[in-house]
């Protein structure tokens, strides 16, 4: 006679062990791809996986509609692509704070949204965001890096300096301006 407690215990142990195995080959492959990066980039990619899990959970409980789910899943995929591209191109274990927005969402980042046709890669907008480029992930997302506080203050100082220069041409280059106002010394050699 088989003890029912033993059977129940074995069954629960089997469920417990099965719960800690990789869910599928795609997640195992993703984890293997992430191993090529340093701890900071891996942490960011893990954060994006967790965000996708939250979106998946919300749609499974019917808290969000399919359009919301699709857009946010595509956004997460676009952020992942850009993060991996930055890490591979720079060979650096650092990522700026990334924002991915569709064309109709520019108002979320900018008071006066720029036209998408005028965006140039590397362009800084409102001394806050640097445009990194478009990423097509189901739909077209425009990816921006938020400048860190030091970069922001440098951009503000630079724009203030350039506006002063436009108002006062003599301030353009004080050294060359001073040289033009004084005569160079003539040195007599015996």
pLDDT at 158: 76
Q: How confident is the model at residue 139 (pLDDT cuts 50, 70, 90)?
A: very high
> What mean pLDDT do residues 143-161 have?
81
pLDDT at 175: 37
Helix (H, G, I), strand (E, B) or coil at 173: coil
Phi-psi category of 62—alpha, beta or left, where left has phi over 0 and alpha has psi -120 to 50? left
pLDDT in tens, 17-72: 334 334 454 555 556 667 789 999 999 999 999 999 999 999 999 999 999 999 99
Could you tell me the maximum CA-CA distance found in the chain, to the nearest angstrom?
122
Phi-psi category of 173—alpha, beta or left, where left has phi over 0 and alpha has psi -120 to 50? beta
Output the pTM of the full model: 0.66
Cα dihedral 46, 48, 54, 57, rounded to 10, equals: -90
Give the integer Cα–Cα distance in Å for 162 and 171: 10
């Amino acid at each position: 006679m088989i003890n029912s407690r033993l059977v129940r215990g074995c069954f629960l142990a089997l469920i417990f062990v099965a719960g800690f195995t990789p869910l599928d080959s795609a997640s195992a492959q993703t984890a293997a791809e992430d191993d090529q990066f340093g701890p900071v980039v891996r942490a960011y990619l893990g954060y994006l996986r967790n965000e996708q899990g939250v979106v998946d959970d919300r749609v499974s409980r019917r808290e969000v509609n399919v359009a919301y789910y699709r857009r946010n899943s595509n956004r997460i995929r676009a952020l992942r692509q850009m993060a991996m591209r930055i890490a591979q191109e720079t060979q650096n274990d650092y990522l700026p704070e990334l924002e991915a927005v569709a064309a109709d969402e520019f108002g979320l980042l900018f008071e006066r949204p720029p036209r998408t046709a005028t965006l140039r890669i590397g362009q800084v907008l409102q001394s806050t965001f640097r445009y990194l480029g478009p990423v097509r992930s189901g739909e077209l997302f425009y990816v921006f890096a938020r400048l860190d506080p030091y970069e922001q203050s440098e951009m503000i100082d630079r724009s203030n300096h350039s506006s002063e220069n436009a108002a006062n041409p003599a301030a353009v280059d004080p050294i060359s301006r001073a040289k033009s106002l004084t005569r160079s010394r003539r040195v007599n050699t015996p």
